[in-house]
Amino acid sequence: MSKIVIVEDDPVIREELALLLENERYQAILIANFSNISRQILEANPDLILLDLGLPGRDGMSLCADIRKVIRTPIIFVTSRDSASDELRALSLGGDDYITKPYNIPVLLARIRAVLRRAGGTAEPDVLEAGGLTLHLTRGTASAGDKSVELTRNELKILAYLMGNQGKIVSRADLIDALWDSQIYIDDNTLSVNMTRLRAKLEGIGLPGLIKTRRGMGYQL
């Protein structure tokens, strides 16, 4: 599991990013004390750093420069500053990518995977396999034998979560948490609709009954 440090002074955004990363099976490490950020990052020994520019007491640019003096851990700037000059300076100081707020969640996650992959770190696998099913995360497709089907983002997340917990019973509440993001409200009815559509697609590629309902408990793959 990749460790990602979040250096963000807005507590709402910080918690939002942490939940998003944990739903994607990353380990999120939050820095809320900004007195000695460099030391905290070194002690955490992360695989990736998400860094804001506007921090209490100092600028994210100078922090990036300090970090680069001692470690080569990839850094993605996540900031509300959208000028070309800020982006150019951030990248020239050692940043690996630059994303502006409000960020698009799928794009943010794709860039995190890409940076981890380029760094040769422990990026999450792009392909999951279970029960005769192959799930391609970046393609957004599920396949069995010579049959394949495209999935929506929610269908993809449901299936990835179940495959990551193969053999375990996953509650509806856990699935709703895994589907939640800051842009789309997910409720019990939304989960039911997505589950029905996902099961129909799996049946279409020859895997009926792959997702089992455990009454009163949840779902199991």
CATH 1.10.10.10 residue ranges for the chain: 127-220
Compute the mean pLDDT over every residue in the chain, rounded to the nearest whole number. 88
Q: Are 101 and 107 in contact (CB under 8 A)?
A: no
The reported pLDDT for the residue numbered 182 is 38
Confidence of residue 95 (pLDDT cuts 50, 70, 90): very high
Helix axes 60-68, 37-44, angle to 10 degrees: 50
User: For the residues 51-57, what does the mean pLDDT come to?
Assistant: 90
The proportion of the chain whose per-residue pLDDT surpasses 70, expressed as a percent, equals 94
Which CATH class name applies to 127-220? mainly alpha
Whole-model pTM: value is 0.58
Measured CA to CA, the distance from residue 92 to residue 107 in angstroms comes to: 22
The closest of 58, 63, 56, 48 to 17, measured between CA atoms, is 48
Helices and strands in the chain: count of H runs, count of E runs? 8, 14
Confidence of residue 202 (pLDDT cuts 50, 70, 90): very high
The closest of 134, 51, 37 to 95, measured between CA atoms, is 51
The reported pLDDT for the residue numbered 124 is 54
Could you read off the pLDDT of 10-26 as tens digits, one per residue? 999 999 999 999 988 89
Confidence of residue 186 (pLDDT cuts 50, 70, 90): low
Q: Is the peptide bond before 102 cis (omega within 30 degrees of 0)?
A: yes
Confidence of residue 200 (pLDDT cuts 50, 70, 90): very high
CATH 3.40.50.2300 residue ranges for the chain: 3-119
The reported pLDDT for the residue numbered 183 is 43
187: part of which helix (H) or strand (E)? Answer: none
- Topology annotation, domain 3-119: Rossmann fold (3.40.50)
The closest of 23, 26, 27 to 179, measured between CA atoms, is 23
